[in-house]
Amino acid sequence: MNQGILILHPDNCESHPDVQQVIQLLQRERLIGSSIEGMPYSYFAGEMFLQLITFMGCSPHIRFEPEDEHDKGFCYIRLTASETLQIRVSEHARPPRCCACKKPVGKGWRTAVSQGEQITCPHCHQQQRPDQLSWRNDSGMGRFFIEIHNVFPGEAQPVPHLLLQLQSIDASQWRYFYLHSWQ
């Protein structure tokens, strides 16, 4: 049972920063600690995690250690990189917005997006590729993701310092969104 995933990624979908460079940066900033055995590219939270990811509310329900060897319900960080564009969409995600008129693109976008088809805006009829859409905070797409597992959607957010450090790697701005109850 995963409570939710906070995902950080370059705003430019085509950007795929060097994984080792990102790992080094996250280690230097101490967002991540030691790697998790048996889980590729996964790390325990580092000493500065709670300084780099801020939580709303006074007592975040967050656990940094697994209860046993099969437990994946604790907060950890995983990096994923892919050759192809990946789309991450929460189960009840709202439609992304049109790049021209900024209105929601409406029904049928999930299928079109997952098949990489052009989206035609029902309001202004602008045609656009999925990566041109304005994504909301419950979905996104890209080739590289930093996933922070088991945080409640909307409860946590990265501090500007962290996003700026990440931006220094590939000169792309970074954004973040939340995945909840996905498939």
Which positions lie near Zn ion, rule CB under 5 A?
98, 100-101, 121, 123-124, 126
CB of 82 to Zn ion, least distance (A): 29
Beta carbon nearer to Zn ion, 101 or 164: 101
Cβ contacts of residue 5 below 8 Å, gap of 6+?
A: 147, 148, 149, 150, 151, 178, 179, 180
CB of 122 to Zn ion, least distance (A): 8
Give Cα separations from 35 to 23, 76, 111, 124, 147 (angstroms).
Answer: 10, 10, 36, 48, 14
Are 45 and 33 in contact by the 8 Å Cβ rule? The answer is: yes
Beta carbon nearer to Zn ion, 126 or 132: 126
Beta bridge partners of 5: 149, 179
Beta carbon nearer to Zn ion, 8 or 99: 99
CB of 112 to Zn ion, least distance (A): 14
CB of 172 to Zn ion, least distance (A): 25
Beta carbon nearer to Zn ion, 110 or 123: 123
Q: What is the CA radius of gyration of the chain?
A: 17
Q: How far apart are CA 146 and CA 144, in angstroms?
A: 7
